[in-house]
Amino acid sequence: MKILGIMGSPHPKGFCYQFTDSFLKGAASKGAEVKQLQLIKHNIKYCRGCYKCVHNNQELPIGICPLKDDMAGILQEYHQADGYIMATPVYDFTVTAVMKTFIERRFALYFKNKSEPGIPAARVKHNYKKKASIIVTGSASDDYAPIAEPCYEVIGGHFMIEEIEVVDQCYIGSVHNLDEEHYGAKLDETFSLGVRLVEEIEKARQEDE
């Protein structure tokens, strides 16, 4: 089993990274292969809305984008993973710019004929056998947890179309004012969420046996 962490903070060693890392350690403790992708370290160009990845090559699991950057390789890893942790700080009441850019470029996972109305469909639907969790960090205290709701919606929309269940949504507030005790508690919490994600994937697989 492979769990892919997609980290959308522009700070490679910041709190969002640390909690994503803790989550992945939890998943690894259950035997999963884990990897964290720090989006800020990759060349990801802005989607141009040309629809070529969606309209063409519909027999492929991933459409072909005319932009030449790191996204083709990232989407291959995404396609091969069994579960996901998506993590982002709250920036201006939503996900960071680099996370939003990544989400828009996931368009290559969908297909739609030019003449058809409505939204594109997933090239590969996973029948809820793949699972995901979402971590959102912010400066506002946990009392303001609803500030993370737009992030959950932006990230979770694609999972819904791909038939990937979101197991947990976790807001970690006051990240710039965490004392040692609360910081340790949040590390324990995210570690446990990583364990739970693997357990939920295993449970879904067992239901098919």
What tens digit of pLDDT does each residue of 189-201 get?
A: 999 999 999 999 9
Positive or negative, the CA dihedral 81, 79, 22, 141 is negative
Q: Which residues contact 17 (CB under 8 A, 6 or more apart)?
A: 7, 9, 11, 36, 38
Alpha-carbon span 70 to 7, nearest angstrom? 15
Q: pTM (2 decimals)?
A: 0.95
Long-range contacts of 144-150 (CB under 8 A, 24+ apart): 144/173, 145/171, 145/173, 147/90, 147/93, 147/171, 148/90, 150/93, 150/94, 150/95
Alpha-carbon span 122 to 81, nearest angstrom? 16
Task: List pLDDT tens digits, range 71-91.
Answer: 999 999 999 999 999 999 999
Q: Are 107 and 143 in contact (CB under 8 A)?
A: no
Average pLDDT, the chain: 95
Residue 207 pLDDT exceeds 90: no
Pairing of strands 110-111, 121-122: antiparallel
Greater model confidence, 208 or 54: 54
Residue 208 pLDDT exceeds 80: no
Task: List pLDDT tens digits, range 112-163.
Answer: 998 888 889 999 999 999 999 999 999 999 999 999 999 999 999 999 999 9
Q: Which of 67, 83, 69, 78 is nearest to 33 (CA)?
A: 83
Q: Which of 13, 122, 118, 19 is nearest to 75 (CA)?
A: 122
Alpha-carbon span 94 to 206, nearest angstrom? 36
pLDDT on residue 79:
96
CA–chain centroid gap for 79, Å, is 12
Q: Are 63 and 108 in contact (CB under 8 A)?
A: yes
pLDDT on residue 11:
95
Phi/psi at 171 (nearest 5 deg)?
A: -105, 130
Rounded to 10 degrees, the C-alpha dihedral 154/158/160/163 comes to: -160
Distances (CA, A) of 71 to 28, 74, 109, 176, 207: 25, 5, 11, 31, 33
Neighbours of 108 (CB within 10 A): 22
pLDDT on residue 115:
85
CATH number of 2-206: 3.40.50.360
pLDDT on residue 209:
64
Q: Are 164 and 3 in contact (CB under 8 A)?
A: no
